Amino acid sequence: MSHSVTLLSPATAKLRGRSLLTFERIGSRLVQFGRRNWRKMLVVLATLTLLHTGCNLYASFLLNRELAEIRLRGEAVTIAEMAPPPISPGMNAALYYRKATASLHLSREESSPGAQLWKPGPTSPESAKVLLKNQRAVALAIQGGFQESADFGLNWHVQPYAITFPYYAEVRRLSRLVSLDAQQRAERGDTEGALHDVRAIMGMANHVSGDPIYIGFLMGRAISAIAHQTLAQVLMTTKVNRTQAVNFESSLPAADWSQTLRRSMQGERTLGIAVFETVQRGKFAQRETGASDDLATRLISHLTIWYWQPWFKLDEVYTLRHWKRIIGSMTPVRLPAANNVSDEESMFAETPRYAIMTRLTMPVFSKATKTLDYFEVEARQREIALALAGYRTVYGTYPPDLQTAAAYWGHPFALDLYRHQPMLYHRTGRTFVLYSAGPNGKDDGGKGPRGLDRHRVVYKKGMAEDDLAWGPGDRQ
C-alpha cells in the first residue's frame, strides 16, 4: 500500500511554525489572564447577561403589545386566519380556469408574452388561427370571468413560505387570449361580444387579486391593465352607442381595490410575522443550510440566535409599526400628496440600523399605495373613454373638449386624481389623447407610461414625463 506525502516548501513550513507559535503564546496569555482576573470576568459576564436579559424582556414587551393591538383590531396574525371562505363548486371560477388551461393549444412561441401575436393593432391571420384552435379555452375562461369569486384550492394552513401560486401565470395567459378574442369581435362589428369579453377579463382580475398576498394584487393589477388596454382598442375599432357604454360600465364587478390592497398587505404582514418567528426559533437557518446535528454547529447557531434575539424582536416591532402606517393609509378615498416620498424617507429615517429585516423589506410595500392610485386613474379614464366613443358614434368625430362629452354623457366626469382638475384631453386628427398629469402633477403632453408599463415604473420625486395616458398597449 502506497502513502502519498505532501511536502511543504521551506518558506511555507517556516510560516506555519511561526503561526503555531503565535497562537500558542496568545492562548497561554489568555489562560494566564483568566486565572488572574476570573472574578472580574465573571462580574462582567453576569452584568452583560443581565443587561441582555433586560433588553430581551423589554423587546418582548414591545412586540407583544404590537401583536395585541393587531388582535384588538380584529386583524389576523397568521395567514391561516385569512383563508378565503369556501365557495360552491357551481360558482367557483377556478374550476373554469383549470378546464380552460387544460384545453389550451399554444406553442412555446405563441405562449411567450413578447410574441407578435399579443402586440396591439388589428388581429393577424396567425391570431385568427390561435383563436380557432382555442375556442373551448376562450369560452371557459369567459365563463370563469363572470363567476362571483374563485377558490384555487390552496392550503393556507401549511408554512407560509411553502405556499405557491402557479395559477397566476395561467389566468394571465387566458386573459391575453380573451383580449385577442375581443379585438377580433370588434373588427367583425360584434360590439356586444367584444364588451362581453372585456367584462370577463375584469372579473379575472378580481379573482386573482382575492388572495391575501401582494403578488396576487399585482397580478390583478396586470390583468386589469390588459382589460383596459383591450377596451381602448375595442372602442377605437368598433362603434359603441351610449346605451352600450352605460350598460358596460354598470355591469363591471364591484371592486374596492383599496380594500383588496389592504387585505393583501395584512396577508404580507402575517407572512412577515411567521418568518420572524421561524428565524427566532432557529429553524429557518437549519432548513436553508441543511445543517446537521453537529454539536458545535448547533451550539454556535443557538448562541448567535440567543445573542441577537432582543434586536431581532425590536426589528419585528419596527416592521409592525411600518405595517400599521402603511395599512392605515389605504382608505377608500385617498388623495396622493406631493410629499409621499418625503413621508417614506422620514419613516425609514426613524428605523435604527440594526432593524435589518425592516430596512430590507418595507421599502417595497411602502410604495404599494401608488399602485392603488393607478387603479383609480384608470377607472376614471375608462368612463371618459366610453363617453368619447359614444359621442363619436353619434356625431362622427370626437368632441372638442371634455365639457361637451360630459354634456352628452349626462353628468360631469371625475377629476384628475393628481391635480384635482379635469383630465387632460385633446383631439389628434381622427383620434384623441386622454391622460392624467401623473405623480409629478405636471402636464407633460401625454408623455409617459401606458397600460402595463404604469406599474413597471418606480416613480421618484421630480420624475420627468410621467403622465398616465389612456390607450392600447401590448397584451403582455
CA distance 54 to 313: 13
Average pLDDT over residues 372-377: 84
pLDDT at 6: 52
If one compares 132 and 36, the residue with the highest pLDDT of the two is 132
H-helix or E-strand spanning residue 17: helix 10-72
Lowest mean pLDDT segment, chosen from 121-125, 179-183, 446-450: 446-450
pLDDT single digits (tens) 378-410? 889 999 999 999 999 999 999 999 999 999 999
What nine digits make up the cell of 462? 421630480
The neighbouring-strand residues paired with 427 are: 432
Return the pLDDT at 283: 54
Burial class (CB in 10 A: 0-12, 13-18, 19+), 149: middle
- pLDDT(316) > 90: yes
| C-beta neighbour count of 81 within 10 angstroms | 13
What's phi and psi for 368, nearest 5 deg? -65, -30
CA distance 270 to 75: 10
Is pLDDT larger for residue 125 or for residue 120?
Answer: 125
Radius of gyration of the chain (CA): 30
Whole-prediction pTM value? 0.81
Report the alpha-carbon distance of residue 230 to residue 259 in Å, rounded.
Answer: 25
Q: Stretch 18-32: mean pLDDT, rounded? A: 74
Phi/psi region, residue 101 (left: phi>0; alpha: psi -120 to 50; beta: rest), is alpha
pLDDT of 148 higher than 50: yes
**Residues 56-90: pLDDT tens digits?**
899 999 999 999 999 999 999 998 898 888 888 88
pLDDT for the residue 270: 93
Query: Domain map of the chain by residue range?
Result: 79-256, 370-469
Cα 15 from chain centre? 56
Question: What is the per-residue pLDDT for 87?
Answer: 85
Grid coordinates given for 171: 389566468
User: For the residues 309-330, what does the mean pLDDT come to?
Assistant: 89
- Amino acid 118: pLDDT: 72
The answer on pLDDT for 290 being more than 90 is: no
Whether the pLDDT of residue 1 is over 50: the answer is no
Strand partners, 112: none
- Over 90: is that where the pLDDT of 153 sits? no
Q: What is the pLDDT of residue 289?
A: 46
Q: Is the pLDDT of residue 469 over 80?
A: yes
Cα separation values, 108 from 31, 119, 373, 388, Å: 69, 17, 35, 39
- Provide the strand spans (E) within 314-461: 424-428, 431-436
Identify the residue whose cell numbers are 486565572. Answer: 35
* The C-alpha cell that represents 287 in the structure block: 432548513
In whole angstroms, what is the distance from residue 405 CA to residue 358 CA?
A: 48
DSSP 155-170: -TTS-GGG---THHHH
Task: Give residue 447's pLDDT band: very low, low, confident or very high (50, 70, 90).
Answer: confident
- How high does pLDDT run on average in the chain? 82
| Alpha-carbon span 137 to 131, nearest angstrom | 9
